[in-house]
Amino acid sequence: TDDVVRSVHRILAHADEQRRLDVRTNADTPEDSARARRFGAQGIGLCRTEHMFLGSDRRKLVEKLILADGPEERQSALDALEPLQKQDFLEIFEEMDGLPVTVRLLDPPLHEFLPDLTELSVRVALAEERGEPDEGSLRLLAAVRGMHESNPMLGLRGVRLGLVVPGLFAMQVRAIAEAACDRRKAGGDPRPEIMIPLVGAVQELEAIREESERVLAEVCEAEGVDVQATIGTMIEVPRAALTAGEIAAYAEFFSFGTNDLTQMTWGFSRDDVEAAFFHQYLDKGIFGISPFESLDREGVGRLVQIASDAGRAAREDLKLGICGEHGGDPDSVHFFHDVGLDYVSCSPFRVPVARLEAGRAALGGERAGS
Ligand code: PEP
Ligand code: MG
């Protein structure tokens, strides 16, 4: 087995010499970051911060933030969240020292954070039955009802949430900047990149960018450290792909979110890819493989191409990457090489395969197994 391991390392080293695509990883914990680095990841292409809010204490704080009665209540939730976020980023910057870390600002489907409507209704009903109406729960119920969405994946997510909840993205940017300053003071080399999710119109990015730049400058000034953080956007809404030239004026990088881009291009909900109807449909064999597994070149791929061309025409040094699941799919990696992206980002365990396929693509080879 030592021989096998040595051969694999030799093949991967050869692929690394050839490939033009960098390979990064999708990671949001120090453990995943360290693992991916051992597998050869050249940074983090997607750190999903919503995963950092799933613990019950933090979930409560986000709930309080989103349903806040007024600015004071909102600010107290933000103040409690910021140091927790700062610690999250510190640990990840430490593991990825010297390598880029793309931190994506919060992009949760809202229903994952709000109290469950049924549970809440039962609580209210039981209290009434006992003749002790629960005012707090009643108010909460009204608020949650008001925010209920039929399609949470197409609702108040990403930049939309950042614009609707004042201070939310600023809190995250502050935590990123402070963590980077601390690392720098400790002699480290943090390389944060701030990524805005679900942008569909340049105005959204413009507004968040302005706020982020202000916060970054404030923190650097207060800490007496000059950390550079680039600001970019996901391209995952078809409208963003079609207006990429304008968006590039406010983005130092694009990262294609092919999960959402596939959902919105095909009109298939991501939440339903495991559903029976979707399999029945695929089993008809008309399209072959699911577009969520292997990139659909004629549709979604066309949008990736259009956005890459328009983005680069508007900004020559625009960095281009992909962080949807397709970033670790062998066939799709060849496509991203052909389009001329700078990097693919995939889950830690797929990093070696992505390195191999990026090397094969550069050599003009067919993908492994085909
Ligand atoms: C995507 O949409 O492809 C993406 C990477 O973001 P998420 O899967 O977190 O929506
Ligand atoms: Mg997405």
Tell me the pLDDT band of 368, cut-offs 50, 70 and 90: low
What percentage of the chain has pLDDT greater than the value 70? Answer: 99
Residue bearing the CA closest to ligand 1, atom 3: 257
What local confidence, expressed as pLDDT, does residue 369 receive?
53
Q: Is the pLDDT of residue 290 over 60?
A: yes
340 is in an annotated binding site: no
DSSP-assigned letter for residue 150: S
48 is in an annotated binding site: yes
Residue 20 in tokens: 């033009």
Between these two residues, 274 and 23, which has the higher pLDDT value?
A: 23
What local confidence, expressed as pLDDT, does residue 239 receive?
98
Instruction: Supply the pTM of this predicted model.
Output: 0.94
- Binding site membership of 236 for ligand 1 (Cβ less than 6 Å): yes
Considering just the CA atoms, what is the radius of gyration of the chain in Å? 22
Lowest mean pLDDT among 127-141, 181-195, 289-303: 127-141
Compute, in angstroms, the gap from residue 268 CA to the centroid of ligand 2.
14
* Least distant ligand from the CA of 346: 1
- Binding site membership of 137 for ligand 1 (Cβ less than 6 Å): no
Q: Is the pLDDT of residue 365 over 90?
A: no
Segment 65-85, tens digit of pLDDT: 888 888 999 999 999 999 999
Compute, in angstroms, the gap from residue 14 CA to the centroid of ligand 2.
33
C-alpha–C-alpha distance, residues 35 and 84, integer Å = 23
Between these two residues, 116 and 259, which has the higher pLDDT value?
A: 259
Q: Name the residues annotated as catalytic.
A: 323
Compute, in angstroms, the gap from residue 83 CA to the centroid of ligand 2.
26
Cα 181 versus chain centre, distance: 23
C-alpha–C-alpha distance, residues 305 and 340, integer Å = 9
32 is in an annotated binding site: no
Burial (0-12, 13-18, 19+ Cβ within 10 Å), 160: middle
> Residues for the chain: how many in total?
370
- Binding site membership of 258 for ligand 1 (Cβ less than 6 Å): yes
* Least distant ligand from the CA of 256: 1
Compute, in angstroms, the gap from residue 149 CA to the centroid of ligand 2.
18
Reported ipTM: 0.99
C-alpha–C-alpha distance, residues 27 and 47, integer Å = 5
Tell me the pLDDT band of 136, cut-offs 50, 70 and 90: confident
What local confidence, expressed as pLDDT, does residue 135 receive?
86
Residue bearing the CA closest to ligand 1, atom 6: 257
Could you tell me if 180 and 190 are in contact, meaning their C-beta atoms sit under 8 angstroms apart?
yes
- Binding site membership of 100 for ligand 1 (Cβ less than 6 Å): no
Q: Is the pLDDT of residue 275 over 60?
A: yes
Between these two residues, 217 and 289, which has the higher pLDDT value?
A: 217
- Binding site membership of 344 for ligand 1 (Cβ less than 6 Å): no
- Binding site membership of 263 for ligand 1 (Cβ less than 6 Å): no
Element (H, E) at 256: strand 253-256
Who contacts 205 (Cβ-Cβ below 8 Å, separation ≥6)? 159, 196, 199, 233, 247, 250, 251
